[in-house]
Structure formats: structure tokens, C-alpha cells
Amino acid sequence: MPSPATTETHDVLVIGGGPAGSSTGYWLARAGHDVAVIERKTFPREKTCGDGLTPRAVHQLTEMGLAGTLERYHRYTGLRACAHGIALELQWPEHPVFPSHGYVVRRRELDTFVAENAVAAGAVLHQGTEAVGPIVERGLVAGATVKDKDSGETREIRARYVVVADGANSRFGRALGTARRRNYPQGMAIRGYFESPLHAEPWIESALDVRDRHGNSLPGYGWIFPLGDGQINVGIGLLSTFRDFKSVNTTHIMNEFAATAPEYWGISPDTATSVPTGGRLPMGGSIHPKVGPTWIVVGDAAGSINPFNGEGIDYAYETGRMAASLLDEALQTGDGMALQRYPALLEAEYGLYFKVARLFAQVIGRPALMRELTRVGMQSRTLMDWVLRIMANLLRPDELGAAEAVYKAAAALARVLPEPTLA
Ligand SMILES: Cc1cc2nc3c(=O)[nH]c(=O)nc-3n(C[C@H](O)[C@H](O)[C@H](O)COP(=O)(O)OP(=O)(O)OC[C@H]3O[C@@H](n4cnc5c(N)ncnc54)[C@H](O)[C@@H]3O)c2cc1C
């Protein structure tokens, strides 16, 4: 048992220093609360990711005062969608809230400066410190037992509230009873880095019909994100709604995509600078419950990734910020009931959108149907502009444009359709 002298106490303890945890830490510290973030790794640390930031993510980073820092990284203006021999360059749309550009930033750098920003705002950050289990007292979570990775010593960090921000595998969340709804789609992705003459392209690229060297269709979609530092991030993502999801070999698809990607990128085994690594993408709000009497779950640990495009960094920032606002209220009023509004807040913000996205996931899980849709879509720049706006969640609330109309039609359908029984 640790002695009381080694016990640390805070208003809020955040488990995990990725986008979700650092955003929660930043917003709570900004509101004047005593918050500690623990991260089992030491920054700068790698995180397997496409490194792509959309306008929504740029907006959140700007809100955290990081617009100037972002300017040091590679800025891009839109998406080049490639399929069936056609390439369409689609600019990010004008939007009253979100900027018309994104960035590509290596996660080892992004997560480091976002965590440092939380510390600058007043959060305590313990790196190399892993939460090994919750402290439960009288049935309530009251902190975590943590282990110092260097010394191997364990101690307690106590807090009135605990935020679960430990990412896709969320072992801490599972210890509190969270679980994935198995009929919701889940993503899987793999990425590697390559040197490229086009590392400073102003477009990110997405391949919507990935084929092997013999021209056979492969499941999933491919991406090529230029980093502006001599390298590009190349990856493949696919959804559990694909018929053969469980037997898919992502390394094989990644190798075939790298071999068949447009020549101008200069992708080859000789230009590879890393061994590809992959991970799971919990999406569409698939993890439940998201809140307990004294704890709240954010980011990938809550299954917050957008199923339309696999984007999770922004949703981690957003859910962290929402959780921080409720914790702020709970701490100010002394009434923890504020936390119980979190599911309703998430539902209002993402409920219908994610339901439409889950419906879409069922469609793209059928390669033949998906091929037909992309074949039609790629004939029309206007249609693809709408698709981009819907998929990146950049619809404008202030005007009912065509994209909003298409989305509303899909949303009306999603409202009445039942969830599939099993993914
Ligand atoms: C291959 C791939 C490509 C992707 N590409 C993109 C993309 O281009 N754009 C995008 O927006 N999203 C992308 N995503 C999704 C994105 O990576 C996640 O949605 C995002 O990282 C979620 O942030 P998070 O803070 O919830 O979790 P994480 O980023 O996973 O952070 C969790 C943190 O918690 C720490 N931790 C875990 N357990 C403990 C513990 N017990 N104690 C202390 N610390 C702990 C971890 O070390 C980690 O630092 C991709 C995902 C994958 C797998």
C-alpha cells in the first residue's frame, strides 16, 4: 500500500495524453481547475495514424490557441479523389466556422505540442506513467493506481472525477465496464512513410477503388498524405462491414496499394522509411456506457471516430472539450449530475450524423455497389463536392445547399431504418 505522502490528489485525473486527453486537460486547466493528465509513454511518442487534420480539427486546434504552431507544418487545400482512371481535385468548402484548409502533421509532433499546450494552460502532465487500474471507493471511481514506467513503482492518484482517454484499446475503460456495440461498424487501418518528390503537394489524395497488381479489386480505400518534410504518409483503411473483414490481410492490401499507387508519388520499397503499422478505429459512437457517476469517456475510448472518413483526431478534441465543459459545471456547482448530460450532448451533436454514417458503412461494405457509386460519382465534380462536405462533416447549418438536401434525405432514411443486427 502506498503511504499517504505518496498519494497525489486533483480535481480531475485524465487517463491518456493523446488528442482527447490533452484537449480535456487544456479546457479544464483554462477554466481554472486542478487537472492531471497521465500518459504511459514519453513525448515525443509515435502513434499510428494518417496524420491528416481536416478543417474541423484545425478549428479545434485554433480554439486551443495553436493556429501559429500549425503554420510550421504542411498546409493543404483539399482532396484529390482518384477512381476509375479519373482524378478530381476537390477544394475544402467555404464555411462560416471551419477554415478552408487542413494540415498534415506527424502525430509524434502534434500530440507533443498539444500536450505541452495543456501544461502551459496549467495542467499537470505525468509522462511515462501508466494507469494500471481504477481506485474504487464505496462503489465510486476515485482515481487510479499508476505505475512509473522507469522505476516500476506504483502509487495512487486520487481525483473527484476521472476522464477515460486511453484510446482505441481502452483497457482502463473496459475495467470500468465499457464495451463496443458489436452491430456497429469498426475500422481497421495501416500506414507507412515513404520519401517522395511530391511531399509538398497542396492536395491529400484518396484512392476509392484500390486494386492489386493484376487489376483485381481490393476492399478498403487508400490514402496518400504529403507531410512537407520530404515524406508522405501512405495507408489503407477498411470497415468491418466488408464481407471478409476478419480474414483480410491489411499488410497485403497495403503492399498492393503501394505497388499500384500513381507513379508520380515515387512510392517503392526503396523509398520506404518505416515498416507499416496498423490499428483499430472504434467509430460512430460504438462504445457504451460513456459516463458513470464520477467518470466520463472521450475520444477513441468512446468510439468517437467518424465512420465516413476514419477521422478521429478532431472528434477526440471535440469530445474532450464537451467533457471538460460538463466537469467544469460539476466542479463549480458541486453537483456531479452534470456529467449525466454527456450522452444527450453527444446525441445532439453527432447522433443523426453518425447514424447516417453507419448506414453508409453498410453500403460501402459491398464492393460491387461501392464501385458503381464511385463510377457515377466521379462523373460529377458537383456531386463529389457534396460528398466531401458530407463525409468531412462540414455541412453548413446556415444555408440549405444541395449537400444539406442530399444529407437530409439520407438522414430521414436513417431515422426510420433499424440498426443492422450484426457487423
Ligand atoms: C492507421 C490509422 C490512421 C488514422 N488516420 C487518421 C487521420 O489521418 N486523421 C484522423 O483524424 N484520425 C486518424 N486516425 C484515428 C486517430 O488516430 C484517433 O482517432 C485518435 O488518435 C484518437 O485520439 P485519442 O486521444 O482518443 O486516443 P490516442 O491518440 O490513442 O491516445 C491515447 C493515449 O493514451 C495513452 N494510454 C493508453 N492507455 C494508458 C494508460 N493505461 N495509462 C496512461 N496512458 C495510457 C496512450 O499511450 C495514448 O498516448 C487513424 C487511426 C489509425 C489506426
CATH of the domain at 323: 3.50.50.60
User: Cα(112) to centroid of ligand 1, in Å?
Assistant: 13
User: Cα(140) to centroid of ligand 1, in Å?
Assistant: 27
In the prediction, which pLDDT does 362 show? 83
Q: Which atom of ligand 1 is nearest to the CA of 54?
A: 11
Give a yes or no: residue 232 inside a domain: no
First to last CA, the chain: 44
Q: Which atom of ligand 1 is nearest to the CA of 299?
A: 26
Give a yes or no: residue 21 inside a domain: yes
Give a yes or no: residue 24 inside a domain: yes
CA 245, CA 359: separation in Å to the nearest integer? 17
User: Cα(46) to centroid of ligand 1, in Å?
Assistant: 10
Give a yes or no: residue 308 inside a domain: yes
What is the sign, positive or negative, of the torsion defined by CA atoms of 28, 30, 32, 38?
A: positive
In the prediction, which pLDDT does 423 show? 38
CA 382, CA 229: separation in Å to the nearest integer? 33
Mean pLDDT by 10 residues, the chain (423 residues): 66 98 99 98 98 98 98 98 95 96 98 98 98 97 98 97 98 98 94 98 96 90 97 96 85 95 96 97 97 98 96 98 98 97 96 88 80 86 87 77 64 62 45
Tell me whether strands 154-164 and 295-297 are parallel, antiparallel or unpaired.
parallel
Tell me whether strands 154-164 and 179-180 are parallel, antiparallel or unpaired.
unpaired
Exposure class string for 78-98: b at 16+ Cβ within 10 A, else e: bbbbbbeeeebebebbebeeb
User: Cα(374) to centroid of ligand 1, in Å?
Assistant: 30
User: Cα(20) to centroid of ligand 1, in Å?
Assistant: 8
In the chain, the number of structural domains is 1
Ligand 1, residues at Cβ distance < 6 Å: 15-21, 38-41, 47-52, 130-131, 165-168, 171-172, 189-191, 235, 278-279, 281, 299-301, 305, 310-314, 316
Give a yes or no: residue 333 inside a domain: yes
User: Cα(409) to centroid of ligand 1, in Å?
Assistant: 33
Give a yes or no: residue 361 inside a domain: no
Q: How much is the pTM?
A: 0.95
Burial of 12 (0-12, 13-18, 19+ CB in 10 A): buried
Nearest to 192 by CA among 263, 102, 283, 259: 259
Give a yes or no: residue 113 inside a domain: yes
In the prediction, which pLDDT does 151 show? 96
Nearest to 167 by CA among 322, 297, 60: 297
Q: What cell was used for 177?
A: 465496464
Beta bridge partners of 89: 80
> Can you give the residue range of the structural domain that contains 135?
4-75+105-182+283-352
Amino acid at the residue 402: A
Q: Which atom of ligand 1 is nearest to the CA of 21?
A: 25
Give a yes or no: residue 299 inside a domain: yes
